[in-house]
Structures are given as structure tokens and as C-alpha cells.
Amino acid sequence: MVNSAIHASSGWLLRTACLLLLLPGITLGRESPEQTVSLSRELLTQPADDLPASRETSRHSTGRNQGVTAGFLSYDVDANQRRKADDSRSRRYNLNYTLGFNAGAWRLRHNANARIDEEQRGYDVISSYAQHDLSRFNSRLTLGQYSTPAELFDGVDFSGVQLRSDEQMRPMNQRGYAPVVRGVARTSATVTVSQQGSVIYETQVPPGEFIIHDLQAPKDSGDLDVVVSEADGSNHHFTVPYLTQVDLLRPGNSRYSFSLGRLREQQHVDGPWFGQSTWRHGVNNYSSLYTGGVLAEGYTALTAGSAAATPFGALSADITSSTASDMLDDDGTRRTLQGESYRLGYSHHLSATDTSLALAAYRFSNEDYVSLDDFAWQDDDDGAREQNRFQLTVSQPVGSWGQLDLSGTGRHYWDSDDQATTYQLGYRRDFNWGNLYLSASQDIKNDEPSSLYLASVTLPLGLASQSPDVTASSSFGSEDPTRFRTSIGDEFGAAHQANYQVHASLVGEQGTQLDDYGANLQWKTPATLFGINASREGDGNQYSGSLSGTLLAHSGGLLLSPNRGETMVLVQPRHGRRVRTSDSLQSYISASSDALMAGLTPYQANNIEFDTTRDNRWHLATREVIPTQGAIIVIHPDDYPQEELELYEEIRLDTNASDGGY
């Protein structure tokens, strides 16, 4: 029925007017035999002034928010134990953590990895620094242990000072990214991701295809080395290419960086002093220029290049010249080396076929080119210097038939047998009933190729919307037997805060031997995200557990949260009301509880949606925040003026009424 309290002057509903003209978005249908008409509309499609009151909505915008003074510990810890039939055991413990403190515009961070296994213990400081935004100049000052940018030179770790422009501070600029790691595990495995010798991520995965998309801000360059440690003790290794291409800048825009300090590695604290600077400038709509230099005791490097937009795609080219003195030769003598490196980059999107192509290639002209990293640690490696490197990625949608993805990377060295090339081809198609995935990969190391092929199908087990998913797959390779695998998994809980998977696989040409089976569970509680896994592979058992989340210390006390991130918002309800956030970490937050939400994008508007209770009714509200990098913002959902709105999702009209139902 129609609410007659709506004022006729509102224009939203008049007794003698056509409803379909006055209510855009209305759908009309006759319901027989009652001879009624049902009208439905989307919520919030009408202006607020045109509706009566019942549900709240608010939009509160502010400028850049530095956040509150607070400290936090973000952690990701896992433990793994393997037990064989002879009762021998092996254990491994791994911890990745970030210790942070915010005070005004200052950001203090310490990122590290600690690990313990049967053979060794390790502790790597990934970075440890203090940062301060210089918003007026769209720049950031960093003091401590950090890494140099890698747009023009290879990135290196150092201890010192860095001043660098940040494109995220400019409106509408492209955000940075972290690469996605995809692979296949034959058993319940441990996946370890390293960059330039430092472990940046480690996790447990069940058998089958895995995707890692939540890497925590790796360095600007350096391919990602991925090791999959299988339950049977075998390992396989692959590389995810991560090369930063020089991009075009808007006309008149410039970007710069300046780094001064001392090179460092995990085992070497006392590297040579150096200085590095880079500068890029947008000349016009079609071209950009860039240059840079590196200066250290006994070493210099200069680079110059340009990027251009052509009708055939974006092209960049540059040349780097290096001079390194006191270099150790093969015969044990020392000499000065001078060489050049040439780089080409190309990317293009073919609109006609929707093909995305990206190619970045490095080619070193001769053996005498030396990078800063090779120069600094020449006495501690095999002396092999990179000859060429390439990266290729192609993405091709094929309409309703799915999508093809091709990637390749290769690296070769002078006077070394350590050569590696990897290709991967994948095809995915989504159906109404599930999806199909096919992949083929080939690794060529030291002229010895190895291949792996996988086919998998995922479909729901039942017709209900909450039915679990069943995945059946088959894989084989040049170094792996044929394997058939089946898994069942699903989410559960009021907010889908938990998920499970049960799996089993058969091995052999006929698939008659049970190879492994197991189960894993992951649960997102209001305090932490924990996971457990138990499996049996071959003649042994494997058990593992993991915990991840954030411990926040602020003026209101301590808070545990399952979410991790660099830029966060703390939601604090007041006045005895419950709050229901758009984040799935928990359905309801009591009046005395806070919620920490992560994953905010710095220097851009982030809409935080939540529902609050008032008079035993839920009211929708939205708060807009623009955080700075690493800020921890506090908001109180019910402290802002809100306008109540009553929205009718369905209006039923009696067509037999004497006035036509109006």
C-alpha cells in the first residue's frame, strides 16, 4: 500500500499521475488472482528531499587526514611439522612482521622476517626507517634502511636518506602495484617468496593451483623468486618477473629521487658510500625524457633515455654507461671496466582484439658493464654479470570463450652456466555452473627443460547458492608423474568469515595409488585470522598452523584485529549502539568493541560504509576519508549529523479500488 504521508508537492507520488513517469527505475508487474500491481525500486535512487524518514545516510568529507598517534604490530606467523614413518621429524617456523608507530606526519616502520628450521636460523631486516610526507612538493623523506627506486637503475638496499616524489599524491595518477604470484602445488606445500635474497612472504597452500595477491609492498624492482616446498621433501622453483617500466608523464610533470647512504645486504652492513639521483619530465602529450646518475668511490654510472607514445604503442629506450675500477679479473688481477647497457620497453593495447601486450628487454653490450650491486659485492659472488634479460606478458580475451594469458621471462649471464628461461600459458573460462582452467609451463635451466601441464574444473555441489565448490584436476610433467586430484571447499559463517577445503589425490598412470589426502580450515575471528592444516603424503604426515593480524595500541587501549595493512581506519561506536561494517571481519560490533579496517588507498577518497542502530532500527551511513600514507584514522559512526530516510522497496496497489488504486 502507498504511504499517504508523502506530500503531493514532492513530485514523487501524485494520485492522478502516472507512477512509471514519476518513479524512474520502477518495475511494474501484475499479480493474479489478487489483481494487484507490484512496484519495486532500487534503494537510494531518489533524492533525499523527496522521501520520508526511516533510514540514515550521511556523507562526511574531509581533506587529507594524518590520523592519530598510535603504534601497531602486524604479524604473519606459521609453524609446520613433518613426521615420517620412521618417526623422524622436521619443524619449520616462520614470522613476517611489521612494527610501526605514527606520530603526526611521521611514520616509523620496521619490516623483518625470522625463521627457524632443523638446519639453520635466520633473521632478515627487510627495511627499517622513518618517513615524513612533504605534501607541498608531492614528495616523501625517508631516513634509515630502505631501497632505491628502480625506474632507471636496478634497485639496491641501503642505509641513509632518500627524498623522492610520490605520484600517489597527485590526483588521478596511477597507483603502484604488487605482482600476483600464480603456481601449482602437487601436495600440501609451503610457498616462500623472496626478492633480492630477502623472504617477503611465506604461506601454506593445499594441493592444486594457488594464487597469492596480498604481497606486502615489495621493492620497486627485483624478480620474485618463488620456492614451492612439497610435503615429500621435493622443491620446485620459478620466477615471477617484476621489472618496472619507465612510463610517460603528463606534460609539465616531473618526478625525481635522490638517495644518499651506504649499501647494505643481509650479511653485509658495511658497503660503499654512494649517491643516486633520477629525474623524469613530461615534455608533451607524446614524449617524456629521463636521466640519472650513480656515484660511489671507484664507480660511476650515467643513464639517459626517452619514452614516446606512438600509433603502434608506448615505446621507451635508454642507454646506461658504467665505469668500475679495481674489478677482479679471472686471472686474479684488478682492472677498470667500462661498458654500456641498453634497455627497450614496449606496451600496447589492441582495441580491435582487446589484446594487451607488454615487453621489457635488457641487453648488455659487453662483459664490461657493471651494475652498482655487482660492483659493491664482487668479492662475495661468482663474478657472473648479467648479459640479457627479458620479460613478456600477453593477455587476450576471447569473448564469451574466456581469456588467454601468456608470460615469459629469461635471464642469461656472461661466463656462467646459470641460465634460466620460463614460459607459462594459461586459459580460463567461466560458466554459469563453474569454471575451467588450463595451463602449460616450461622452465629451461642450463639448457635442461622441464614441463608441467594442468587441467582443472570447478563446479558447485548442488543448486543452492551456498553449495560447496568441487574442483577436479589432473596434472603431469616431464619430471612429475600423472596426478589426479579432487577437492571440496566452501565458506561458512554469518559473514562468510570461515572457509574449509578437503582434498585427496591419486598418482600413477592409471590413478590407482592414493598419494595424499588432508584438510585445512581458515577462520577470521574478531581478533585474528588463523588457519590449520593436516595432511598425509606418502609415508609421512604434515601438520601446520598459522596466525595473522594486527595488534593496535592507541589512546583508547589495545585492539586485536584479523586485518593487516599499511593504511587503516579504526571504527569506534558510541552511545550504546551496535555497528555493522561493510567489512566481512565480523557481522556485528558491540557498543564496547572497536573494528580495525585495512586496505585503504592513501591520498584518495575512501568510502567507509556501516550501519548503526537507533530505536532498534538499522541506519545506513557512509563516511569519506582521505588518508595519507600509513595513517591510522579514527571515526565514530554516530557522531555525525545524519538525515533519516524511509525507502519503500515494494509498493502494492489494489487495481480494484474505486479510484484506480492511487
Residues 241 and 512: their CA atoms lie apart, in Å, by: 38
pLDDT of 552 higher than 70: yes
- Domain assignment of residue 575, yes or no: yes
Each residue's pLDDT tens digit, 304-346: 999 988 878 888 999 999 999 988 777 778 889 999 999 988 8
Which one has a higher pLDDT value, 159 or 168? 159
Residues 130 and 110: their CA atoms lie apart, in Å, by: 9
Q: Total structural domains in the chain?
A: 2
For range 488-505, the mean pLDDT:
87
At 624 the three-state DSSP class reads: strand
- Domain assignment of residue 398, yes or no: no
Beta carbons of 604 and 628 less than 8 angstroms apart = no
pLDDT of 53 higher than 60: no
Each residue's pLDDT tens digit, 409-419: 888 888 777 78
For range 514-539, the mean pLDDT:
88
Q: Identify the pLDDT of residue 304.
A: 97
Mean pLDDT across the chain: 77
For range 528-553, the mean pLDDT:
91
- Domain assignment of residue 347, yes or no: no
Cross-strand pairs, 595 = 571
pLDDT of 366 higher than 50: yes
The lowest-confidence range among 53-62, 113-122, 164-173, 483-492 is 53-62
The lowest-confidence range among 32-36, 289-293, 358-362 is 32-36
At 536 the three-state DSSP class reads: strand
Which one has a higher pLDDT value, 353 or 360? 353
**Which pLDDT band holds residue 213 (cuts at 50, 70, 90)?**
low
pLDDT of 647 higher than 60: no
pLDDT of 551 higher than 90: yes
The lowest-confidence range among 41-50, 56-65, 455-464 is 41-50
Q: Identify the pLDDT of residue 310.
A: 81
**Which pLDDT band holds residue 218 (cuts at 50, 70, 90)?**
low
Same domain for 596 and 616, yes or no, is yes
- Domain assignment of residue 203, yes or no: no
Which one has a higher pLDDT value, 221 or 654? 221
Range from 62-66, 149-153, 239-243, 436-440 that averages highest in pLDDT: 436-440
Q: Identify the pLDDT of residue 381.
A: 61
pLDDT of 513 higher than 60: yes
For range 504-509, the mean pLDDT:
81
Going across the sheet that includes 650-654, the strands are 27-31, 36-40, 650-654
Q: Identify the pLDDT of residue 217.
A: 47
Q: Identify the pLDDT of residue 325.
A: 92
Each residue's pLDDT tens digit, 57-77: 233 334 788 999 999 999 999
Which one has a higher pLDDT value, 617 or 318? 318
Q: Which string of DSSP letters, residue by residue, matches 285-342?
A: SSEEEEEEEEEETTEEEEEEEEEEEETTEEEEEEEEEEEEEEEEPTTS-EEEEEEEEE
Q: Identify the pLDDT of residue 174.
A: 41
Domain interval for residue 585: 57-66+555-645
For range 275-302, the mean pLDDT:
93
Residues 484 and 506: their CA atoms lie apart, in Å, by: 5
Burial class (CB in 10 A: 0-12, 13-18, 19+), 118: exposed
- Give the residue carrying C-alpha cell 616450461: 442
The lowest-confidence range among 156-170, 199-213, 272-286, 289-303 is 199-213
- Give the residue carrying C-alpha cell 660511489: 296
Q: Identify the pLDDT of residue 271.
A: 84
Residues 292 and 400: their CA atoms lie apart, in Å, by: 46
pLDDT of 437 higher than 90: yes
Residues 163 and 255: their CA atoms lie apart, in Å, by: 11
- Domain assignment of residue 188, yes or no: no
- Domain assignment of residue 45, yes or no: yes
Q: What is the DSSP letter of 544?
A: E
Residue 435: how many CB atoms within 10 A of its CB? Answer: 15
Same domain for 616 and 570, yes or no, is yes
Q: Identify the pLDDT of residue 273.
A: 94
Sign of the four-CA dihedral 96, 533, 178, 552? negative
For range 632-657, the mean pLDDT:
48
Nearest to 160 by CA among 258, 257, 260: 260
For range 377-395, the mean pLDDT:
78
**Which pLDDT band holds residue 500 (cuts at 50, 70, 90)?**
very high
Same domain for 40 and 62, yes or no, is no
Q: Identify the pLDDT of residue 165.
A: 92
The one-letter amino acid at 467: S
- Domain assignment of residue 32, yes or no: yes
**Which pLDDT band holds residue 3 (cuts at 50, 70, 90)?**
very low
Residues 417 and 446: their CA atoms lie apart, in Å, by: 6
**Which pLDDT band holds residue 391 (cuts at 50, 70, 90)?**
confident
Q: Identify the pLDDT of residue 30.
A: 38
Specify the CATH number for the domain of residue 618: 2.60.40.2610
pLDDT > 70: what percent of the chain?
A: 75
Beta carbons of 580 and 611 less than 8 angstroms apart = yes
Q: Identify the pLDDT of residue 610.
A: 64
- Domain assignment of residue 17, yes or no: yes
Q: Identify the pLDDT of residue 382.
A: 60
**Which pLDDT band holds residue 302 (cuts at 50, 70, 90)?**
very high
For range 513-530, the mean pLDDT:
88
